[in-house]
Structure 1
Amino acid sequence: ASRPNPQDDKGFTSYAEFGGSSDPDGRVFELDSSVGYNFTKHFGMDMGVPIYFVQASSSTTGGSTSNNGLGNPHLDLRLKFNNPAVNFGSVLTGSAPTADSKKGLSTGRATFDWTNRFDRSFSRFTPFAEVGIANTIADSRLFKRPYTSLGFNTHFQAGGNVDLWKFFGAGASAYDILPSGQQTIFSKVAKSQETTGGAEIARDNGYSAWLDANPTACLDLELGYTHSTHYALNAVSFSVGINLGHLVRKGPRQ
């Protein structure tokens, strides 16, 4: 799903983002664009369709291969309440199973993710905590996973962001994904590779660190690193996001 746009209080929204992750299994790039509408300063919705570009490593497939295609279309319902004590945001995402599960771009089933976020700023530092439930493990800007999963899980993340200088910032967080029940893993880097098992095959935990820059109200840049402790996997990532809705309403010079 696309980033929420906290500066957009009401009206039309649109966001486009291109990002990717590279790890020993290969490289996964995603182009995601969305359009939506904020009905009030507290509630909005958007929808979009991602496009994936996957390059498997030679060590994974015995020879480098590409695996590209459309992902599942998604609908996001967003709720937010900002107040002096703590800011609260909630995003419910639903995805339709239209993408190719043999390419690992879908599970073949409808999926959902409900994530709730709490944060509060103390001068330049903003600690945050997230908790959610889902029947798939969602990608993030910091980690485009080399697989797609199907199965119930509870997920947690906690960390903080710090404003460094002008429009530059940095952050770090730790995450934990706790699956339960039967899980199925669909590989993005090896075609038609599907694995079904217990909760342990989808278990994951680790930590991330990132640098970000917001040179204008319309442009978001990020470089990140994620270490998966469970899989002993290191990934580097980048993302470039453009707030098209803000450009349309305010003009590029504002």
Structure 2
Amino acid sequence: MRLMCAIVLVVGMSLPVEAQEDRGWSLHGSFTGSVNADGAVTKAEPVLGYAFNNHFSTYAGVPFYFVNLSSSATSTTTSTAGGSMNGLGNAFLGLRAGINSESVSYTSSLEVSAPTGDKSRGFSTGRVTADWTNRFSRKFSSVTPFGSLGIANTVSDTAFFVRPFSSLGLVGHFEGGATYDVSPVVRLGASAYAVRGSGQQRIISKVIKRETTISSSGSSGATRNRVFETQTETVSQADIVNDHGFSTWLGISPKPEVDFHAGYSRSVNYDFNTLFFGVGFHVGK
């Protein structure tokens, strides 16, 4: 927290004094989903924001999850009958500071989530979580390389990927990639990511019903790390959340306020293939 405050202070001191900068309220909404062998996990997320000026803002929101479970299971001993679950996730509050110049665009955000979600359905860990993320990008003609790094006590959903589990434990997360503007409204993107855990980790599945009993014994080597497919809750060491992989996607923005995207994500450590999609809108500042 002290480091975050120091960065905000440095950013503020380095900014030029401007006339009354843009401030005001905004509303952002998104509906995103991920589909894989475990089923489909989708999320509707309204977010209310307030910009203090061009460089500092705050936001708050709450996700609502819809989970459609696959009729099959990876366990060699027990199968599931499929089904569906839905419910609120963790309400969150965020602070964001940023600089947008010709040389580089930089944002630093700190997001804290309260345990308002249903832990029995995997929508929460039952604990307060926090994620501090720093993102850099620079535009070169039609190509925009970007990178991000952060530290958290949970493996968060990304802008594209709605994870099939909730987690609690210290992690570092990293991503690097680029987008290419095919036209003013169409873009292509690709990125590689990595998640590295530290210390004890807790995994709570979103794709197994709490009353379902599934043993993880006898699972194949290909799925040895996908404990969210075989147990409702698992406590283990750091390697249970360690992951790396890549994503590629197509985005369409017919208007600045509207965005559509669809793509593919590959998790190497989990040996997991996921198709993802989303639509978003933004009104206000």
TM-score normalised by structure 1 residue count: 0.92
Q: Is 2:211 the counterpart of 1:211? A: no
Q: Distance in 2 between matches of 1:146 and 1:84?
A: 38
Paired residues for 1:35-50 under 5 Å: 35-50=48-63
Task: Pick one of 187, 193, 211 that aligns with 1:169.
Answer: 187
Match of 2:42 in 1: 29
Per-residue CA deviations over 1:10-49 (Å, capped at 9, x if unaligned) read 3111101011000111110000001120001000011011
- Which protein is bigger by CA-based radius of gyration? 2
Match of 1:243 in 2: 282
Paired residues for 1:75-86 under 5 Å: 75-86=93-104
* Equivalent residue letter for 1:41: N
Residue pair 1:35, 1:46 contacting (<8 A) in 2 also? yes
**Could you list the runs of 5+ residues in structure 2 that have no partner in the other structure?**
1-20, 74-78, 211-231
Shift of 1:9: 4.7
Q: Distance in 1 between matches of 2:172 and 2:256?
A: 33
Residue pair 1:141, 1:238 contacting (<8 A) in 2 also? no
Match of 2:206 in 1: 188
Match of 1:5 in 2: none
Task: Pick one of 5, 16, 20 that aligns with 2:33.
Answer: 20
The percentage of aligned residue pairs carrying the same residue is 45
Q: Secondary structure at the match of 1:92?
A: strand
Match of 2:272 in 1: 233
Q: Distance in 2 between matches of 1:25 and 1:208?
A: 19
Q: Distance in 2 between matches of 1:99 and 1:26?
A: 20
Q: Secondary structure at the match of 1:58?
A: coil
Q: Is 2:113 the counterpart of 1:95? A: yes
Whose strand proportion is higher, 1 or 2? 1
Q: Distance in 2 between matches of 1:98 and 1:11?
A: 27
Per-residue CA deviations over 1:93-132 (Å, capped at 9, x if unaligned) read 1000111111000000000111100110000000001000
**Could you list the runs of 5+ residues in structure 1 that have no partner in the other structure?**
1-7, 247-254
Match of 1:250 in 2: none
Shift of 1:157: 0.1
Q: Distance in 1 between matches of 2:202 and 2:84?
A: 22
Task: Pick one of 54, 68, 87 that aligns with 2:67.
Answer: 54
Match of 1:251 in 2: none
Deviating beyond 4 angstroms after TM superposition, the runs of 4 or more aligned structure 1 residues are none
Q: Secondary structure at the match of 1:239?
A: strand
Shift of 1:244: 2.8
Task: Pick one of 122, 145, 164 that aligns with 1:104.
Answer: 122
* Equivalent residue letter for 1:235: T
* Equivalent residue letter for 1:155: H
Q: Distance in 2 between matches of 1:164 and 1:9?
A: 30
Q: Distance in 1 between matches of 2:130 and 2:209?
A: 24
Count residues in correspondence. 239
* Equivalent residue letter for 1:26: G
Q: Secondary structure at the match of 1:41?
A: coil
* Equivalent residue letter for 1:52: Y
